[in-house]
Chains A and B, each alone.
Chain A
């Protein structure tokens, strides 16, 4: 199954769906422009209707771009039908052939490639073993559990040794535990075969844990591309910050500029901020983005924002403390709560943070 890893390039790809009965045209994807390097797993992350699945379907060939071009490796595949592209898709609903046994499902792609019968049997067995379903060849797919069906679909996609593996929310129909297992499994196989992969999901945990890079989309537009770490720590907008994790947004005014850093006024206090997503001018309004785990609850008057503990929720490895502040309810995550001081509900407290753990973002909700 070894094959040289190839890249996938989208060049200013736009997809417009024709209007149906008097409604306006829908622009599902607008100017998508990115490269997935060979052997890389890139996730398209975004809320439903953001165009991530449409992007994937254009790479697979199920949809034609209205504008732009798509290359797999050096080859322009923009107008090639799916069967002429070296891609394999795993569908949200698996798309197993219900009238064929597990073995025949997996063998389908090889049969089409006119592989010799013995060779097919050998490779099907190999693929089923790879996904841990070695003894299930004779079953009907309908008789398998969701996770098993998922793995059959994976084996079916991998057996044709595609240059690009496309995964369309493959785990969304599984229960939580199975999802975690499959996630690890998919990542392991993808890495060991070093297949280029594009993964579509709306689940940020999935995106973070699987990907080499994440592409965050909204309303058909790519909002940010970067490693999970970058996307989480240095989002370029309130939307990205909020979509990839919990975050508090504290309205501030920029009062001073020092090199790349800023001084911002939060309520009556000045806060030095190390990083910013935009070039702010003095006097301009913005928001400070702070992750719950980077906030601390301290004695009243000792932090930046005063408030009162409204509710504590114990989660085992952490505790979530909801603090009522002038900016509304803010969430503070206290890791390893048994070794930390926890203020009881109703107590007047203050919220503190270190300046290098907050980031200045533009004020706009987007």
Chain B
């Protein structure tokens, strides 16, 4: 509701501020450009005093002008006493002579020469452009007299073009800041004057600014750079990316994705079925073990697979003496990825299986179907949407995975690592890396869309009446035993992989010398800085991500404001984007003023927060939907303002979601690789990158030590947070609902 008086005040305030803003901008730029001009003027005057006495040396002197006054070009005139005129003699570049051609017969040039005759250096009014550092930039023209040894007469004159690069960069920065200040002022005063509830307005504004700067802006910059070559529009990068040499990598990514997704889904389904739909006893243990790989650092499984099955692996070499089979490549990668990612499938599918009401199975059995028929006709079809979305999720994750391919891809080329090579390798091509990551985005987004709009629509679950508490046994003892033996074997294998890492930490030189040592533990003091910075950054990001996600969830679920849908989409976007792309986009977007963040710890924290926001947001939204809105309304009605309602009511009520999204963020921050690898700096280093460099240098002992440390820290913090979730005596069942 816009009221006239407020609108008037707003417009008045806006006009005054804009005028002041403009005035400050123009006086700052003009004073700075005057300062630059004066400095250049003085430099030019100093330069002409260094003129050699011998006319023969003038050529060399002129050539050196661009190093004395950076990027400048000069043209030397001799003074002809007979003609009373200056005539061009020497020049330092072709550009300056064409500038002279354009100045020919102008009053500007004539005035310049007149002044030179009276031993006065002048700044010309005509502006020009010269090439500096490969780009055409604005330049200021000067004419300065070269005075003879007596100091009375000009024996010649110099026309010098000095690039005004510094001034224009400064003026651009000022412009950005001035526009930024204006936008910020307008938005803030808009919220203050028109929103009934200013705090909510500021929260919405804050979130929009966060996602605008840290989600939309980097992606737009990355897209822009991907279409740019040498400062102008070009399709060259896309042409390169779609050339056969990179299509191979896309093909590799897709093959890996399909095989990993299929293997993980099958494995996940079997375990989920055993846990959710049979009378199997040790469900808790199996579920816990099966989710382990989710919280372990990304290199750990690759590392132990290399230790066991690599070229010098314990099993492949020492036990089986295999020399022909290599773990590097599609097979090994599929194995490692499947083990790391089947928990995703397991969690998704067990969620769906748990919701299938066993009365429908009872009904089927009652209608004299066999157990196998019941499974194939009832249970399995009901689980299909869950299975499909599990497949899609794993597929997306496999494509985005960066850590495992980096160590294990061998001859298989995949896009995520190719993008990394493109950026860090010889080519140092950020735009190219961005293009390859975009290529990766297409199958990912397709899978995401299919999952979101097609699979979820086909979901059958939820349309059941009163759920039955008993479980119908669909397996006979034989099948169940076979299934549990298989599942135990898989889990045993996973456990063995972790134990291998621990073992690796105590061995002198894996593959060659298996004697016991504690020498590897020097990795801890060596990497102490990285351990501290990894923990610090994760500890900062964790509560931030949690709070922002919960505030976002509250705004989206409970408040009405324009652009809500857009905000939600922007907040969810990072979920679908591979880490490699986010990392590259951040490097592209935040490497210059006023947002010079590359190399700071802040960019890493921001990256964690932004990337884990979607999961926290979903958790928060789900939790809030289960809470009766009148609880918050009652609090507000009793006099609590929006922040108080959030602090005293919303946050305590969504605490389980809050804490679980915080623990998720923490784990992900501790195990991050794909985006972080572009963002770490000497000062802010990450343990996983350290593990990677140790592994690449075949220093497996040191890598194992760090891996073990990381796992211990994560497990510690994770269980601490789990304890916190459990301690909610009142909230458990008392949330009233309509």
Q: Which residues of A contact B (CB under 8 A)?
A: 60-62, 64, 66, 79, 81-83, 87-89, 91-101, 108-109, 112-113, 140-143, 149, 153, 156-157, 160
A160 touches B639 (CB 8 A): yes
Q: Show 16 residue pairs from A and B whose CB-CB distance is below 8 angstroms, ordered by the A residue.
A: A62-B633, A79-B196, A82-B633, A93-B738, A95-B632, A96-B634, A97-B635, A98-B731, A98-B734, A108-B638, A112-B640, A141-B734, A142-B736, A156-B634, A160-B638, A160-B639
In whole angstroms, what is the CA distance A140 to B730 when docked? 7
Given contacts A99-B731, A112-B638, A142-B735, 16 further A-B contacts (CB under 8 A): A62-B633, A62-B636, A81-B196, A82-B636, A82-B637, A92-B738, A93-B628, A94-B630, A94-B736, A96-B736, A97-B634, A97-B635, A98-B631, A98-B653, A143-B734, A157-B638
Given A91-B630, A142-B734, check contact A83 B653 (CB 8 Å).
Answer: no
In whole angstroms, what is the CA distance A141 to B729 when docked? 12
Among A64, A89, A92, A157, which residue has its beta carbon within 8 angstroms of that of B196? A64
In whole angstroms, what is the CA distance A64 to B561 when docked? 13
Q: For residue B634, which residues in chain A have a CB less than 8 angstroms away from its CB?
A: 89, 91, 95-97, 153, 156
Q: For residue A89, which residues in chain B have a CB less than 8 angstroms away from its CB?
A: 633-634, 637
In whole angstroms, what is the CA distance A156 to B637 when docked? 11
10 closest pairs, A vs B, by CB?
A142-B734, A95-B630, A95-B634, A109-B638, A91-B630, A98-B734, A112-B639, A99-B652, A82-B636, A95-B631
A83 touches B731 (CB 8 A): no
Return the chain A residue nearest B649 by Cβ.
Answer: A97
B641 touches A97 (CB 8 A): no
In whole angstroms, what is the CA distance A91 to B636 when docked? 13
Return the chain B residue nearest A141 by Cβ.
Answer: B734
B281 within 8 Å of A by Cβ? Answer: no
Q: What distance in Å separates the Cβ of B9 from its nearest Cβ neighbour in chain A?
A: 15
Q: For residue A96, which residues in chain B have a CB less than 8 angstroms away from its CB?
A: 631, 634, 736
Given A93-B628, A93-B630, check contact A83 B730 (CB 8 Å).
Answer: no
> Of residues 1 to 54 in B, which have CB atoms within 8 Å of A's CB atoms?
1
B376 within 8 Å of A by Cβ? Answer: no
B477 within 8 Å of A by Cβ? Answer: no
Q: What distance in Å separates the Cβ of A21 from its nearest Cβ neighbour in chain B?
A: 11
Among A61, A98, A113, A149, which residue has its beta carbon within 8 angstroms of that of B735? A98
In whole angstroms, what is the CA distance A223 to B648 when docked? 42
B633 touches A142 (CB 8 A): no
Among B628, B641, B733, B738, which residue has its beta carbon within 8 angstroms of that of A83? B641
Q: For residue A113, which residues in chain B have a CB less than 8 angstroms away from its CB?
A: 639
B197 within 8 Å of A by Cβ? Answer: yes
In whole angstroms, what is the CA distance A132 to B729 when docked? 26
Q: What distance in Å separates the Cβ of A360 from its nearest Cβ neighbour in chain B?
A: 43
In whole angstroms, what is the CA distance A66 to B638 when docked? 24
Among A109, A140, A149, which residue has its beta carbon within 8 angstroms of that of B639? A109
B232 within 8 Å of A by Cβ? Answer: no
Return the chain A residue nearest B737 by Cβ.
Answer: A93
Q: For residue B637, which residues in chain A have a CB less than 8 angstroms away from its CB?
A: 60-62, 82-83, 87-89
Q: What distance in Å separates the Cβ of B691 from its nearest Cβ neighbour in chain A?
A: 42
The residue in A61, A97, A112 that gathers the most chain B C-beta atoms within 10 A of its C-beta is A97
**B643-676: contact bitstring with A at CB < 8 Å (1 yes, 0 no)?**
0100011001100000000000000000000000
In whole angstroms, what is the CA distance A108 to B640 when docked? 9
Q: For residue A140, which residues in chain B have a CB less than 8 angstroms away from its CB?
A: 729-730, 734
In whole angstroms, what is the CA distance A64 to B196 when docked? 9
Q: For residue A92, which residues in chain B have a CB less than 8 angstroms away from its CB?
A: 630, 738
Q: For residue A81, which residues in chain B have a CB less than 8 angstroms away from its CB?
A: 196-197, 636, 641
Q: For residue B653, which residues in chain A have a CB less than 8 angstroms away from its CB?
A: 98-99
In whole angstroms, what is the CA distance A3 to B644 when docked? 27
In whole angstroms, what is the CA distance A62 to B637 when docked? 9
Q: For residue A93, which residues in chain B have a CB less than 8 angstroms away from its CB?
A: 628, 630, 736-738
In whole angstroms, what is the CA distance A140 to B653 when docked? 14
